[in-house]
Amino acid sequence: MKNTALITGASNGIGMELARIHASKGGDLILVARSLSKLEELKNELEGRYKIKVYTIGKDLSVIGSAAEVFNETTAEKIQVDYLINNAGFGDFGMFAETDPNKELQMINLNITTLTQFTKLYIQEMMKRKSGKIMNVASTAAFQPGPTMAVYCATKAYVLSFSEAISNEVNDKGITVTALCPGATISGFQAASAMEGSKLFDNKNLPTSKVVAEYGYRSMMKGKTVAIHGIFNYLMASSIGFMPRALVLKTARMILSKPK
């Protein structure tokens, strides 16, 4: 396989669009998600349209150790991963005292633990070659605490901080690390997170997954460390450091709430 990108959470949304973009550039793919049937559909589409190779792995990445299983499989198949795109992740909506603790543990495992393990395993191979690109999908939620989405926002803050730190560590090793920070996007995220009706998604002009994926892919190829999609999102993220923390919390609570 040539110019290969491994993309997690590739069965829908931003991950699926990233796969389409990479395939259109002539690059091969390793696609990972829980739904193998959806990945096989995407594989057939992309191999037929672009004459590239797609390797699919059905895997629940919220399970501890799943990243190592994927790494061992790609190693056994002698597939070199040139681009690692950690896109898989999910959120949950509700007061922390009332939300499902098991779902939150799965969220932490997926959004933080698996992402970290994937990065550790593949960056070591990239270091040997002195080349490679990594993109970790964070969120504009990474820039402030999020009442009613407390755990999700905290996981994305980790992704942003982690990505910036290792970007600095490898910036002279031929490797780039990008944290993609999209805002609210038209995708399956709001349904999976039980956020239908939230003021965050009460906007008729939200970007599509395709638009965000195109921006993220361009940013990764340029080696941009933090890529915040949308001028409004960029201004909001940039201004948070100058606002009193109490006001940041109040504003976040208002945005994430559902209309009464």
156 classed as catalytic: yes
Question: Please, which residues have CB within 8 angstroms of residue 130's CB and are 6 or more apart in sequence?
Answer: 173, 174, 175
Helices (H), the chain: 13-24, 36-50, 66-76, 101-108, 115-129, 150-170, 189-192, 209-222, 231-239, 245-256
The string of pLDDT tens digits covering residues 109-125 is 999 999 999 999 999 99
Q: What is the pLDDT of residue 197?
A: 53
Is the separation of the CB atoms in 19 and 42 below 8 Å? Answer: yes
CB atoms within 10 A of CB 192: 15
242: its two tokens: 């100058």
195: its two tokens: 């956020």
Tens of each residue's pLDDT in the chain, 260 residues: 789 999 999 999 999 999 999 999 999 999 999 999 999 999 999 999 999 999 999 999 999 999 999 999 999 999 999 999 999 999 999 999 999 999 999 999 999 999 999 999 999 999 999 999 999 999 999 999 899 999 999 999 999 999 999 999 999 999 999 999 999 887 655 445 455 555 554 556 889 999 999 999 999 999 999 999 988 887 877 777 766 677 666 676 677 766 55
Q: What is the pLDDT of residue 155?
A: 98
The string of pLDDT tens digits covering residues 72-92 is 999 999 999 999 999 999 999
Q: What is the pLDDT of residue 244?
A: 66
Query: Is residue 194 classed as helix, strand or coil in its secondary structure?
Result: coil
Decide which of 3.40.50.720, 3.30.420.40, 3.90.780.10, 3.40.50.800 is the CATH code for 5-256.
3.40.50.720
Q: Which of 43, 59, 133, 156 is catalytic?
A: 156
Q: What is the dihedral of CA 250, 252, 254, 255, to 10 degrees?
A: 160
Q: Which of 55, 83, 122, 152 is catalytic?
A: 152
152 classed as catalytic: yes
Q: What is the pLDDT of residue 249?
A: 60
Give the Å distances, CA to CA, from 6 to 23, 25, 30, 76, 203: 12, 15, 5, 15, 32
